Amino acid sequence: MAESLPSTEVPLIADLTPDVSDERLAGVRVGVVTFPGTLDDRDAARAVRIAGGTPVPLWYKDSDLQSVDAVIIPGGFSYGDYLRAGSIAAKAPMMREVHRAATADGTSGSAPLPVLGICNGFQILTEMHLLPGSMIKNDHLKFVCTDQRLRVENTETPWTAELDRGGEIVVPLKNQDGQYVADARTLRQLEEENRVVFRYVGGNPNGSRQDIAGVTNERGNVVGLMPHPEHAVEPGFGPSSSGTEEVAMRYGSDGLRLFTSLLRQIVAA
Ligand SMILES: NC(=O)CC[C@H](N)C(=O)O
């Protein structure tokens, strides 16, 4: 494994790039952590750029968060999913820093860091106990790859503030260990505290308890979800099966709203 970070200087497709008129967004620095076996760091960085922010590559072995305003733990196969998906990456030096910043108590003047874990990133966050529950093999024991409908259940996190509560988005889902499980008490607590952020609709693709696709921590700054919003950030790249061109255009960029939400929440804070 080459010890290098991916370049974030990816070209954008000018015609498809949303008009980002608020120049303050570019001042928001969003870290994207890369581990051995990470796949989706480039797309996460690209999503931040398309939303108008500045992605900051973070290497798993380092311990300097580089004054980022938020962190994304991207998807992929960190350490080849050996032992349990996400369990080895959870012990990385960079993740110690992420844990410290995400649980900051505010007495030192620092608000808790917004963190988004996508797929393998969600698995890593549960392994670190930043989020409750665990991810086990899909109930049908096969890898799933599909355009997934999700209902937005919670718009009180920085990552979902601009989504419509009760509305639907469609983004890709692709994993083998996507079945969300937790004990009955934890599940009840998640429901009572409105901490289920996304729920599968149109069929449960992996056997997750209560159709849970994404959850948040008690303070709402840490969010994890199995589907991939960073793969749905450009209009026109939506699901081919979604019917009209207009629907495909909208679905193609549903994921972008998580990143624009985050950037605008930070600018407004
Ligand atoms: N897309 C991903 O991040 C894959 C996550 C994980 N390695 C799994 O297959 O469950």
Per residue in 98-110, pLDDT (tens digit) is 999 999 986 666 7
For residue 108, is it within any domain?
yes
Q: Is the pLDDT of residue 2 over 60?
A: no
For residue 235, is it within any domain?
yes
CA dihedral 256, 262, 268, 269 (to 10 degrees): 180
> What letter does residue 135 receive in the DSSP assignment?
E
For residue 244, is it within any domain?
yes
Answer yes or no: 145 catalytic: no
Catalytic residue among 127, 153, 228, 231: 228
pLDDT at 151: 97
Q: How far is the CA of 108 from the centre of ligand 1 (A)?
A: 36
> What letter does residue 76 receive in the DSSP assignment?
B
| Tokens encoding 164 | 């419509």
CA 251, 81, 114, 8 torsion-angle sign = negative
Q: How far is the CA of 74 from the centre of ligand 1 (A)?
A: 10
DSSP string, 15-34: GGS-----GGGGG-EEEEEE
Q: Of all atoms in ligand 1, which is nearest to the CA of residue 40?
A: 3
Answer yes or no: 191 catalytic: no
- Contact criterion met (CB below 8 Å) for 50 and 41: no
Query: Which range (29-33, 91-95, 105-109, 258-262) has the least confidence?
Result: 105-109
pTM: 0.91
For residue 153, is it within any domain?
yes
Average pLDDT, the chain: 89
> Residue 96 CA to chain centroid, in angstroms?
19
Complex ipTM value: 0.96
Domains held by the chain: number: 1
Query: Given its phi and psi angles, is residue 79 left (phi above 0), alpha (psi -120 to 50 degrees) or beta?
Result: left
Distance CA 95, CA 164 (A): 31
Q: Is the pLDDT of residue 240 over 70?
A: no
Q: Is the pLDDT of residue 7 over 60?
A: no
Q: Of all atoms in ligand 1, which is nearest to the CA of residue 121?
A: 3
Q: How many CB atoms lie within 10 A of CB 231?
A: 23
For residue 252, is it within any domain?
yes
- Contact criterion met (CB below 8 Å) for 68 and 44: no
Q: How far is the CA of 75 from the centre of ligand 1 (A)?
A: 6
Q: How many CB atoms lie within 10 A of CB 269?
A: 9
For residue 6, is it within any domain?
no
To test the ligand 1 pocket, which listed residue (174, 181, 208, 226) has its Cβ within 8 A of the most ligand atoms? 174
For residue 15, is it within any domain?
no
Answer yes or no: 230 catalytic: yes
Question: Tokens 């937790």 belong to which residue?
Answer: 182
Residue 119 in contact with ligand 1 by CB distance below 6 A:
yes
For residue 9, is it within any domain?
no
- For the chain, how are helix, strand and coil distributed in percent, rounded to 5? 30, 20, 50
CA 106, 48, 197, 227 torsion-angle sign = negative
Contacts of 77 (CB under 8 A, 6+ apart): 37, 38, 39, 85, 120
Q: How far is the CA of 37 from the centre of ligand 1 (A)?
A: 10
Distance CA 225, CA 110 (A): 25
Question: Which residue range forms the structural domain that includes residue 67?
Answer: 26-268
Strand partners, 225: 118, 214
Q: What's the CATH code of the domain at 89?
A: 3.40.50.880
